Amino acid sequence: MMQTPDSLVKVTAADKTLRGLAVTTTHLVEQVRVRHKTAPTASAALGRTLTAGLLLGSMLKQDETLSLQFLGNGPLGGIFVDANARGEARGFVHNPRTHLPLRQGKLDVGGALGTGTLTVIRTQPWGKEPYRSILPIVSGEIGADIAHYLLNSEQIPSAVSLGVFVRPDESVGAAGGFIVQVMPGASDEIISQLEARIAQTRPVSQLVREGATSREILALVLEGFAPVTIDDMPVRFSCRCNRDRVLDMLAALGKAEVEDLLTTEGAAAVTCEFCGELYTVGRTELDVLFSDQ
């Protein structure tokens, strides 16, 4: 079967009383797995969070950014994801080689994360302070935690499904997710029908493995509700790191601390946590950086 690029689709349904978003992220999650060398449970945890970040990011205004930060007492430690409204995301986990025995036949993301907090940060260029919401982790399986956030912080009842299928060789075979939200004006009958429909829907990772696109996932989930597509866009991994940012960071450390690095290591080496890119800065470049000090 020919693989299709990752994409995100938004629809309205049931005369605009339902909103649906779906995204396929197989290629993006596999790219991040390769960069961070994550073990299967860590891949599932990071992949689900990246998928959630893209879905939530698509609800933002164009210049807003969103961060999801899970901090737990399990062996995974934490998950960090940044996303924006342009379909770009990046992320990492504290302990990428985390892998636990299967629980009920599934990767034990909740056990790997443990109990702790989910922090959602929305940054607006026009605002002085980011909007920050901190909630306790309710399951650690990511999807239920995102639904809990949407209900408690945004007051929007939402069904959230996220899935990552990891092959025996640790590569990512399928990843994706969807969010369906109940908007003002939805009748009790529509809500009941929607709940029944979602309960009958196969796991989203299975749908993606079978070749379903984002549009086809929503058509299946919202069958009978006359979904109308309002947006369809590609999604991709993207990191904001670059050499200039690294030099700015080294300048902020100060000349004395950088001199210590040069003495002990021979160069200043900085690895981006989000993408794994290694930046090595030698003495000549650092002499220029601190030439006016």
Same domain (yes/no): 34, 161: yes
Same domain (yes/no): 96, 183: yes
Same domain (yes/no): 247, 219: no
Using a pLDDT cut of 90, give the percent of the chain over it: 74
Picking from 82-86, 100-104, 212-216, 240-244, which range would have the lowest pLDDT averaged per residue? Answer: 240-244
> Average per-residue pLDDT in the chain?
92
Closest by CA position to 102, among listed 115, 114, 111 = 111
Same domain (yes/no): 195, 267: no
User: How confident is the model over 218-251, as pLDDT tens digits?
Assistant: 999 999 999 999 999 999 999 988 888 888 888 8
User: Is pLDDT at 140 greater than 60 in this prediction?
Assistant: yes
pLDDT score recorded for residue 266: 72
Same domain (yes/no): 250, 217: no
Same domain (yes/no): 169, 278: no
Same domain (yes/no): 230, 255: no
Structure tokens at 5: 């690029």
User: Is pLDDT at 293 greater than 70 in this prediction?
Assistant: no
Q: H or E stretch including 180?
A: strand 172-182
Distance CA 204, CA 225 (A): 19
Question: Domain holding 194: CATH number?
Answer: 3.55.30.10
Same domain (yes/no): 221, 266: no
Q: Quick one: pLDDT band at residue 106, thresholds 50, 70, 90?
A: very high
Helix/strand/coil for 153: helix
Helix/strand/coil for 273: coil
Q: Residue 248 sits in which domain range?
A: 243-289
Picking from 32-36, 52-56, 72-76, 260-264, which range would have the lowest pLDDT averaged per residue? Answer: 260-264
Asked if residue 52 lies in contact with residue 23, where contact means CB atoms within 8 angstroms, the answer is no
Distance CA 217, CA 215 (A): 5
Q: Let me know if residue 2 belongs to a domain.
A: no
Q: Let me know if residue 1 belongs to a domain.
A: no
Structure tokens at 144: 């239920």
pLDDT score recorded for residue 292: 61
Q: Quick one: pLDDT band at residue 4, thresholds 50, 70, 90?
A: low
Close Cβ partners of 134 (under 8 Å, ≥ 6 residues apart): 117, 118, 119
Domain tally, the chain? 2
pLDDT score recorded for residue 257: 79
Distance CA 87, CA 25 (A): 11
User: Is pLDDT at 33 greater than 50 in this prediction?
Assistant: yes
User: Is pLDDT at 3 greater than 70 in this prediction?
Assistant: no
Distance CA 154, CA 135 (A): 12
pLDDT score recorded for residue 263: 77
Helix/strand/coil for 16: coil
Question: Domain holding 259: CATH number?
Answer: 3.90.1280.10
Residue that wins the pLDDT comparison between 128 and 63: 63
What are the C-alpha distances in Å from 113 to residues 96, 143, 223? 12, 13, 34
Q: Let me know if residue 132 belongs to a domain.
A: yes
Q: Considering only the C-alpha atoms of the chain, give the largest distance between any 2 of them, rounded to a whole number of Å.
A: 71
Q: Quick one: pLDDT band at residue 162, thresholds 50, 70, 90?
A: very high
Q: Quick one: pLDDT band at residue 132, thresholds 50, 70, 90?
A: very high
What are the C-alpha distances in Å from 285 to residues 101, 248, 256, 265? 48, 12, 15, 15
Asked if residue 52 lies in contact with residue 143, where contact means CB atoms within 8 angstroms, the answer is yes
Q: Let me know if residue 178 belongs to a domain.
A: yes
Q: Quick one: pLDDT band at residue 1, thresholds 50, 70, 90?
A: very low
Q: Is 36 exposed, middle or buried (0-12, 13-18, 19+ CB in 10 A)?
A: buried
pLDDT score recorded for residue 281: 81
pLDDT score recorded for residue 244: 85
User: How confident is the model over 166-183, as pLDDT tens digits?
Assistant: 999 999 999 999 999 999
Same domain (yes/no): 95, 72: yes
